[in-house]
């Protein structure tokens, strides 16, 4: 048995903060196994949230400065987390924070330079998990499906409701996955109009009414008719979604209510397209799993299609950090950790760049 003690670190598109999951990842005769031994979410300060949010518009020199500064910040947080919990860590697996994602143009960029992470933490670091796949002609996303296959293969579908919604499943013996579309990114943007970070428990959305013309406009976004594999991100949101949200006089409650229905409709369409039986189970993780109005609406729309399963809170919050911990361990073993059946690349790859402190 080979065991790695890995600190997985993830910053998602919803800009909530940094997720850290300290995991024991072991390679055993029956495959990879995992245990989450310690975890923490570090909310971003208003300054860091704004810097990361604005990174897409920075000139090159300022973007590079942020890349290095954020890498050092990540490394320091890792070192503090290890010290607080008395952890022995073999390896950091750091996703970083995506600022630019244009696979059709041949590039993707995650802030948080791995060499800075390694130096500031004093620990071997694997980072830059997406670039190799994009160079190989893939989308560079989603990456979590390798973990869905290895750790959660008992579920017919794995759905993540983060800033963006994405789904993965087995089809004809291959793992396939793609970004469905909107999730918390649009909801957080809407409540930001009234100075809130998020709609706690979906309470405001529950009070709203459905605005059918907005729902139709959202459902008609061209992205939804594109074939998979496909992925999207903040650029798409800014260019195509924000104008639909801003160009009306609907109250915040109605915008939220309508957006929740849109999110759930698109998930239901995806599952209906790919379900091979009527008794499918859907594992739901990501911040959206903590929004009762969203999950209730999803259950209603999937009532005749699938059972919605929401696991324990630790897995809901830290699944992505766990999977990057797995990917870091697989990279160190030279195993393929990015699936071309998911991303559309020319071949599977063992992705991630290894940095020594």
Residues 103 and 172 in one domain: no
Residues 300 and 168 in one domain: yes
- 72-113 pLDDT tens trace: 999 999 999 999 999 999 999 999 999 999 999 999 999 999
Residues 114 and 231 in one domain: no
Which residue range(s) make up the domain with 173?
148-314
Q: Mean pLDDT score of the chain, rounded to an integer?
A: 96
* Per-residue pLDDT band at 208 (split at 50, 70, 90): very high
CA-to-CA distance for 63 and 60, rounded, in angstroms? Answer: 5
CATH value at residue 59:
3.30.420.40
- 125-165 pLDDT tens trace: 999 999 999 999 999 988 999 999 999 999 999 999 999 99
Tell me whether residue 299 is exposed, middle or buried, using C-beta atoms within 10 angstroms of its C-beta: 0 to 12, 13 to 18, 19 or more.
Answer: middle
Half-sphere exposure of 353 (CA within 13 A, CB side): 16
Closest CA to 155 of 319, 307, 323: 307
Residue 248 lies inside a defined structural domain of this protein: yes
Residues 40 and 154 in one domain: no
Percent of the chain past pLDDT 70, that is, above it, reads 100
Residues 226 and 130 in one domain: no
The tokens describing 1, both together, are: 């048995």
Question: How far, in Å, are 105, 141, 343 from residue 230 at the CA level?
Answer: 14, 8, 7
Q: What is the pLDDT of residue 228?
A: 86
Residue 319 lies inside a defined structural domain of this protein: no
Residue 324 lies inside a defined structural domain of this protein: no
Residues 182 and 298 in one domain: yes
Residues 125 and 163 in one domain: no
Residues 110 and 155 in one domain: no
Residues 201 and 304 in one domain: yes
- 299-347 pLDDT tens trace: 999 998 999 999 999 999 999 999 999 999 999 999 999 999 999 999 9
Residues 135 and 223 in one domain: no
Residues 223 and 308 in one domain: yes
Q: What is the pLDDT of residue 349?
A: 99
For the cut 90, the answer to whether the pLDDT of residue 37 exceeds it is yes
Residue 331 lies inside a defined structural domain of this protein: no
Residue 327 lies inside a defined structural domain of this protein: no
Residue 174 lies inside a defined structural domain of this protein: yes
Residues 275 and 348 in one domain: no
pTM over 0.85: yes
Considering its fold, how many domains does the chain have in total?
2
């Amino acid at each position: 048995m080979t065991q790695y003690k890995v600190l997985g670190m993830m910053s998602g598109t919803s800009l909530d903060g940094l997720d850290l999951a300290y995991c024991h990842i072991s390679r055993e005769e029956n495959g990879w196994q995992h245990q989450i031994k310690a975890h923490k979410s570090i909310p971003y300060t208003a300054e860091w949230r704004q810097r990361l949010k604005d990174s897409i518009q920075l000139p090159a020199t300022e973007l590079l400065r942020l890349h290095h500064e954020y890498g050092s910040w990540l490394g320091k947080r890792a070192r503090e987390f290890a010290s607080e919990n008395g952890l022995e860590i073999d390896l950091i697996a750091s996703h970083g924070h995506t600022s630019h994602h244009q696979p059709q143009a041949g590039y993707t960029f995650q802030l948080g330079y791995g060499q800075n992470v390694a130096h500031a933490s004093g620990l071997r670091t694997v980072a830059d998990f997406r670039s190799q796949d994009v160079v190989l002609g893939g989308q560079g996303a989603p990456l979590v499906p390798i973990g869905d296959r290895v750790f959660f293969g008992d579920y017919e579908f794995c759905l993540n409701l983060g800033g963006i919604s994405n789904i993965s499943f087995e089809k004809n013996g291959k793992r396939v996955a793609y970004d469905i579309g909107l999730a918390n990114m649009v909801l957080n943007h809407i409540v930001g109009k009234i100075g809130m970070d998020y709609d706690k428990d979906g309470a405001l959305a529950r009070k709203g009414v459905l605005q059918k013309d907005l729902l139709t406009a959202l459902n008609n976004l061209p992205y939804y008719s594109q074939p998979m594999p496909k992925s999207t991100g903040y650029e798409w949101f800014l260019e195509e979604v924000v104008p639909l949200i801003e160009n009306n006089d609907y109250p915040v409650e109605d915008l939220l209510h309508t957006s929740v229905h849109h999110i759930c409709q698109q998930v239901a369409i995806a599952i209906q397209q790919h379900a091979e039986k009527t008794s499918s189970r859907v594992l739901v993780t990501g911040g959206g799993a903590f929004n009762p109005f969203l999950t209730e609406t999803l259950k209603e729309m999937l009532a005749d299609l699938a059972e919605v399963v929401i696991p324990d809170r630790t897995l809901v919050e830290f699944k992505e950090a766990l999977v990057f911990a797995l990917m870091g361990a697989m990279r160190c073993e030279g195993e393929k950790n990015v699936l071309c059946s998911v991303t559309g690349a020319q071949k599977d790859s063992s992705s991630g760049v290894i940095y020594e402190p």
